[in-house]
Structure 1
Amino acid sequence: MNMKRSNQMKMLSILLLSAMLAAGCSSNAANTSNTAATTTTDAATTASANQTSDSASDAAVELASANAAEQADFDENDSLTAWSADSATTIAFSSASATVTGGGAKAVGGVVTISTAGTYVVSGMITDGQLVVDAPDDADVHIVLNGVQITNNDGAAIYVKEAGKAIVTLQEGTDNRLIDGATYADTSEDAPTAALFSKGDLTINGTGKLAVTGSANDGITSKDDLKIMSGTITVNASDDGLVGKDLVAAKDGLVTVKAGGDGVKTTNDTDADKGYVAITGGTFHIASEKDGIQAATSILIADGIFEIISGGGNTKSTKTHEEQFGGRGFPGQTQAQTETTASTDESESSSAKGLKGAANVAIAGGSFSIDAADDAIHSNANIAITGGQYRIASGDDGIHADTALAISDGTIVVTTSYEGIESANIAISGGEIHIAASDDGVNVGGGNDSSGAAGGDMFAATDGMLNISGGYLYVNADGDGLDSNGSVVMSGGTAIVNGPTTNGNGPLDYNGTFEQSGGTLVAAGSAGMAQAPSDTSKQLALMMTFPSTLEAGTLVSVTDNNGKTIATFQPAKSFSSFVFSSASLSSGEQYTIATGGSVSGGAATEGYAEGGTVSGSTKVLAFEMGEKVTYVNESGVTTAPSGFGGGGGRGMGGGGRGGMRGTPPTDMPNGGTPPADMPSGGTPSTDMPEGGQTNG
């Protein structure tokens, strides 16, 4: 078993490596003790920043599917449902007693004990009884629930005390119910803690129905592996719904869980090759007060349908996000997040995430609807998304990985979040991503479940990387649109950014460099902290600073000297800056920027279109495109803003922004005066660390 799972661990390393290579991630991810994370990081650091491979992405999807099935380790007898009346022992409960017909089991009052391997068909109803399995540790015990209701007023309804494996079959066409007591007579350390409790491997299969009420603690628990092969299973538990110490695996079935604790979880966090949740199919409806699905190590999902509400949903979030200086931010600031637990090391009791992996999360497919008070999808190491459909509402981050996040396929819609996606390193090579965030849309530099690097110079670049090599990314953010405490590399894909509207943040925000060699970038928002790609980019870009703020929905158009429309954009928020980079721009060519009017023709996508015919617009200026990044205002070509504005990066890599170290440009709103919505008119707080520096 250990050797097999060790090999499966290597498969996970390959899966994550493939996903990161497909996303072209070349950043230095933080080292972790997890084998998969280390393998991924070492290999990813050697990859070219522009390496994009459809075959690698396809391979990642296949590996995710294969790995989930391998980790689930479905055995032949996990599918055992057949039985014969001639060879099976029957157990019939009635009121306060039971009758056993056949060998291998004995009834004493309302308690039936199975002592040998074999098949046992159970029916009837008992108001205070129990089914116990106490067989040799190599015995496979097949229990067929054939229309039975077992209530135990002071313990587990079914207690597998000893066996090699217990296989519970839900007989076709039957309704079965297990109810435990609110308090247990046995309160010893090894006592059962669930209505259906097994100290060994437990498998549930069949096409019948099972309703489990966990009045005292959990609904269904295995102290080894728990596997769901099929059936309609409903669990209502005062604490956790489904628990497998070493593994929870699911192949099919309809599972509905209402839990006062976690919905589905594993607990073995000491063995690196155990503690997995591996799902290859099935439908899950989970409403949990804590985490929806939690793995002590990693979550692997190949397919399935998931509807998860954790912690009461995003509107019930108890997270607080204390923003320094009392406003949206300060030049270069990444907002400091303080949780009500006053600790970034969340205790089990404070976590209300949708999907949570203590190690990695790898998802190849499936349909996900997640409404979480905390992060919707969370990993303490890496996340690889290689397919699937996601609709996410979060009281904190939509998707968060401490070390690295790679997205190569799938459709992700984050309808509500504090920050949309966050990790120390993010690589996007494919898929379709839509983000709405009350702070940053995409944030590189979070890690450790906090929204920013702890301490240090707010302008100092980290080694984190946002790498966009493909796919479609749409951001509507109240904070920074694309935020990297390190650098940004863009070689392909489309990124459309709306917001922010206040001058303490910018549509683009990076501390190192923003190297763009391909793809289409459109960003509109406030001008006080606006940045453009770095001057060292291979692809041309323009940045327009308007003399006043324009209303949301105002059309901005870029046309060439022949009147051909290069691009149009209708921002979703009010804006005073506009950044555009595309392969359609040419050095030395004349372009015109106009506002207002309407556009017909062209394929518009969320406000952005290439081509088409613009009518009724007002010309702002005509200018000649330079050889790098061209900065313009209503007067014509100008230079990269310094001080509060930004052009090439804040740190040593860009020679632009510099925050308080520069002079505000005269073409800023308010004539260069720091934004009025900053405390003390833009003066740094006297209680800032290091004489005016803030956390970055």
Structure 2
Amino acid sequence: MNHRNKTKLIAVVLLSAMLAAGCSSASEGAPASASSSAAAGASAAATSTAGVQAAGEGAVASAKYDEDDTRTEWSADSATTIALNGSSATVTGSGAEAADGVVTISAAGDYVLSGKLEDGRIVVNAPDKVVHLVLNGADVTSKSGTAIHLVEAGKVVVTLQEGTENGLTDAAVYADTSDDAPTAALFSKADLTINGTGKLSVNGNFNDGITSKDDLKIVSGTLIVTAADDGLVGKDLVAVKDGDLSIEAGGDGIKSTNDTDEGKGEIVVEGGRFDIRSANDALQSAASLYIADGTFGLVAGGGHAASTKTHAEEMPGGGFGGRGQWSGEGQGFGQPPEGMERPEGGTPPDGEAASARTRNAPASDIAATENPEAANTAGTEETESTSAKGLKAAGPLVVAGGTFEIDAADDAVHSNTSVRITGGRLSLATGDDAIHADAALAIEGGTIDITSSYEGLESASIAVSGGEIRVIASDDGVNVSDGSGGEPGGFGGGGQAANNGLLLDISGGYLTVDAGGDGLDSNGSIRMSGGTVLVNGPTNSGNGALDYDGTFEHVGGTLIAAGSAGMAQAPSEDGSTQRSIMMTFPQTQEAGTLVTLRDASGQTVAAFAPTKTFQTLLISTPALQSGENYTLSAGGTNDGNGVDGFYESGTTAGGTEVVGFTLGDGAVTYLNESGVTTGSTGMGMGGGRGGMRPGSGTGGGSRGERTP
């Protein structure tokens, strides 16, 4: 088993083990009528969610700052002064000596450096001692290796003296290239802490800017780092309490590297300002990544516009009644919807099929484009040189606060296990997923604005219980998937998807989606018990505003989903206690057309103006009551306070009544311009009763349809 797979396995076990007695709020209020298969999926997802909630707890405590880390003061009476002068140095005091441009420190104490060393280095070799280096207007350049080499010590604290500017520059080619040789302009084999309020400019011409083979802590100060490879590296820990960090890196911006020792390899950020431009990942943790606060401007891999990711399009599933089947009105098995031609060789027209993504290295992009089959099988193992993510962790990734502007060629936020977001303001643009977690993603708070992505949110388990989230995606807005590509279904699709543990659980928060592919897509099931969800798109008939393979239990919250008609789904009859209407218009409606649902007294129940063309519109709010009369109109304007095209009240002026109807007793009332029509409630093999649009054909029944 390779290390990456081993890490995922351990993470899943830990997530399950951390399930506490009190599960997430998303699991509360399950109706007694919920299907056992959906309950099993919810239970598995709740286990993962609980693990996400536990992730990062105590992370700040693990980054312990002692008195030595925060001490900046020194006394001229007791400190050893080191005056740098061209190719030599003068030492005044004990514990250090200078010879041939090399200053060697061998004892504990305070050492104050000033002046300029044009070709030399500072060496610390004081086993088990605490050495305090004060850079008091010091500039050190080496033409043969590292500028500061901390060979051995109990801890080295570098203080940037208030009001001073300091510099470190290493050689582009090192004389010592052995395995134990330093690899950074400031290189330490001991714990390294940087504090103070001065400025330090680091030019890492050979490899890295600042590297510690133990812990690296930034307490304060201004750091400007330019590195041929990585900017800041801490093997066991990178901890930032405060400071102003500007990093230009040919590799990763900030990284930890210990991926073998338990409790090591973490990155913990409590605050500070970060301006990072990296060819690869901006922040990369070999274990967990925890951010409590800070201001982040991150550009990875040149940003989303520079992405070379290949997203191969193919027909998924396939087989009798599988997800790969076209759903056509009055057409036979596997026929495309009206107005669409069957693609040659099983390949759908551009944009008309669900997508199967391949994560290819840039070197293979051209070949993958020319050979889509190869794109789906080759180049899936990510290498360090191909990863260009904003925030990346091999273990749990937690964002509790902060302000983020992330522009990444790859995922903006990524974890090989779990992601938890409880606060902060995140603006994300990415060439791939905006937020991706292999095992579980929990969003409990914060503001997330995804301005550009391939897929917005992706994980095997997604729980949204709070926050304000806006997603723009060229493919799926929200995608619940374990990366296996799903299972072919039987009649009605789904297969074992209803109880495969894959679940999108929405219990609160505010979510808007603008998707070129599916709006909400679960390769398992969906459960909604609270919050507000608005879906715009897709406009093509190969995708749906809602897409699930198991069941969709809708028991609370407000859901409005506009999109095309070919693959449209509504919530499930089984398990859904809140009423919905699904309107299919006789023809495509223009973007911005206001659709208003009124009750018998003429009061607005909901009004929505989709941002894209649409032919179906699903509306579900707690106000809908069975047996009551309603009207649906199109056009006009609403005088209420609309947000994202949605009006919970207000008066609509103008417009044309499309249909009047009485809301039925079932979970979903299907409508067309003639009134109530028969909805689809086909049984999938997984036991889920899905909801395809009315009037579907007599064919194999993709995604849960049946003949009325």
Same fold (TM over 0.5): yes
Q: Give the aligned partner of residue 293 of structure 1.
A: 283
Inter-partner Cα distance in structure 1 for 2:100 and 2:74: 26
Q: Which residue of 2 aligns with 1:101?
A: 92
| Map of 1:347 onto structure 2 | 383
How many Å separate the matches in 1 of 2:287 and 2:419?
12
Aligned equivalent of 1:150 = 140
For 1:616-652, what per-residue CA distance to the aligned partner results, in whole angstroms no more than 9, with x for missing partners?
11111111101121011111111224xxxxx678653
- AA partner of residue 463 (structure 1): G
Aligned counterparts of 1:130 and 1:337: Cα–Cα separation in 2: 47
Contact 2:11-2:395 within 8 A present in 1 as well = no
Q: Give the conservation status (yes or no) of the 8 Å contact 1:380–1:403.
A: yes
In structure 1, what is the Cα distance between the partners aligned to 2:52 and 2:76? 44
Answer yes or no: is 1:327 the counterpart of 2:361.
no
Q: Which residue of 2 aligns with 1:132?
A: 123
Q: What's the offset of the Cα at 1:611?
A: 1.6
Match of 2:473 in 1: 437
Please tell me whether the aligned partners of residues 64 and 363 of structure 1 are also in contact (alpha carbons under 8 angstroms).
Answer: no
Please state how far the C-alpha of 1:598 moved relative to its aligned partner: 1.1
Report the 3-state secondary structure (helix = DSSP H, G, I; strand = E; otherwise coil) of the residue aligned with 2:423. strand
Answer yes or no: is the 8 Å Cα contact 1:510–1:650 preserved in 2.
no
Question: Match for residue 363 of structure 1?
Answer: 399
2-structure distance, mates of 1:565, 1:410: 30
Deviates more, 1:631-640 or 1:111-120: 631-640
CA distance in 2, matches of 1:535, 1:315: 43
Work out whether residues 251 and 280 of structure 2, in 8 Å CA contact, stay in contact via their aligned partners in 1: yes
Aligned length: 621
Summarize the alignment of residues 254-403 of structure 1 with structure 2, pairs less than 5 Å apart: 254-324=244-314, 325-327=347-349, 333-340=354-361, 342-403=378-439
1:317-375 deviations in Å (ceiling 9; x for gaps) = 111101112435677x4533352363333111110000000011011111111000000
Deviation of 1:604 (Å): 1.0
Does the Cα contact within 8 Å between 2:581 and 2:670 map onto a contact in 1? yes
The separation in 1 between residues aligned to 2:87 and 2:606, in whole angstroms, is 78
Provide the residue aligned with 2:170 in structure 1: 180
The normalised TM-score by structure 1 is 0.85
Matched-pair contact (CA < 8 Å) for 2:250–2:279: yes
What fraction of aligned residue pairs are identical, expressed as a percent?
A: 56
Match of 1:11 in 2: none
Structure 1 residue 76 corresponds to structure 2 residue 114: no
State the 1:35 CA deviation. Answer: 6.1
Using the size of structure 2 for normalisation, the TM-score is 0.84
The one-letter code matched in structure 2 to 1:106 is E
The 8 Å contact of residues 299 and 407 in structure 2, kept in 1 or not, is answered as: yes
Report the alpha carbon displacement of residue 565 of structure 1 after superposing the two structures with TM.
1.1
SS across alignment from 2:405: strand
Does residue 167 (structure 1) correspond to residue 201 (structure 2)? The answer is: no
Residues 343/318 of structure 1: CA separation in 2 closer, same or farther (3 Å cut) = same
Q: Whole-Å Cα distance in 2 between the matches of residues 673 and 587 of structure 1? A: 30
SS in 1 for 2:15: helix
Give me the whole-angstrom Cα distance separating, in 2, the residues matched to 1:365 and 1:46.
20
- Quick one: structure 1 residues 323 and 383, their matched pair in 2 at CA, closer, same or farther if it must change by over 3 Å? same
| Counterparts of 2:288 and 2:525, CA distance in 1 | 29
User: Shift of the alpha carbon at 1:44?
Assistant: 8.3
Structure 1, residues 72-91: CA drift from partner, whole Å, max 9, x if none? Answer: 11122100100000000001
Q: Which range is displaced more, 470-479 or 321-330?
A: 321-330
Separation of aligned partners in 2, 1:439 and 1:114: 58
Which digits, 9 at most, give the CA deviation of each residue in 1:182-227, with x for residues without a partner?
0111101010000000001000000000000000000000000000
Q: Pick one of 533, 542, 552 that aligns with 2:591.
A: 552
Q: Which residue of 2 aligns with 1:631?
A: 670
Residues of 2 paired with 1:39 and 1:96: CA distance?
60
Structure with larger RCO (C-alpha < 8 A, sep 6+): 2
- Look up the match of 2:28: 50
Q: Which residue of 1 aligns with 2:194?
A: 204
The aligned residue for residue 243 of structure 1 is 233
Q: 1:180 to 1:564 in 2, by over 3 A?
A: same
1:116 to 107, 112, 132: 107
Partner of residue 523, structure 2: 485
Q: Which residue type is aligned with residue 286 of structure 1?
A: I
1:410 to 446, 463, 485: 446
Candidates 215, 225, 244, aligned match of 2:215: 225
Look up the SS of the partner of 1:297 in the other structure.
coil
RMSD, aligned CA: 2.5
Indicate how the Cα distance of structure 1 residues 199 and 649 shifts in structure 2: closer, same or farther if over 3 A, else same: farther
Shift of 1:673: 11
In structure 2, the residue matched to 1:56 is: none
Q: Separation in 1 of the partners of 2:98 and 2:9?
A: 57
SS of the aligned residue for 1:655 comes to: coil
Kindly tell me: are residues 407 and 233 of structure 1, through their superposed partners in 2, closer, same or farther at Cα, counting changes over 3 Å?
Answer: same
Sort the Cα spacing of 1:454 and 1:517 in 2 relative to 1 into closer, same or farther, 3 A: closer
Specify the code of the residue in structure 1 equivalent to 2:422.
Answer: T
Structure 2 unmatched runs, 5+: 1-7, 31-49, 315-346, 365-377, 703-708
Give, as a single letter, the amino acid of the residue that structure 1 aligns with 2:305.
T
Say if 1:650 and 1:95 are closer, same or farther in 2 by CA, change over 3 A.
Answer: farther
Q: Map Cα deviations across residues 232-252 of structure 1 (whole Å, 9 max, x no partner).
A: 000000000000000000000
CA contact (8 A) 1:413 1:434 kept: yes
Any idea what the Cα deviations from partners look like across 1:462-520, whole Å, max 9, x if unmatched? 32000000000000000000000010110000000000000000000000111011100
Quote the Cα distance in structure 2 between the aligned partners of 1:271 and 1:459.
41
Matched residue, 2:375: none
Paired residues of 1:322 and 1:338 also in contact (CA < 8 A): no
Q: In 2, distance between residues paired with 1:515 and 1:555?
A: 27
> Structure 1: which 5+ runs fail to align?
1-29, 53-58, 642-646, 659-663, 675-681, 685-696
Cα deviation digits, residues 586-635 of structure 1 (max 9, x gap): 0001111110111113x311001112111111111111101121011111
Which letter maps to 1:84? S
Residue of structure 1 in register with 2:634 after alignment:
595
2:485 pairs with one of 406, 429, 453: 453
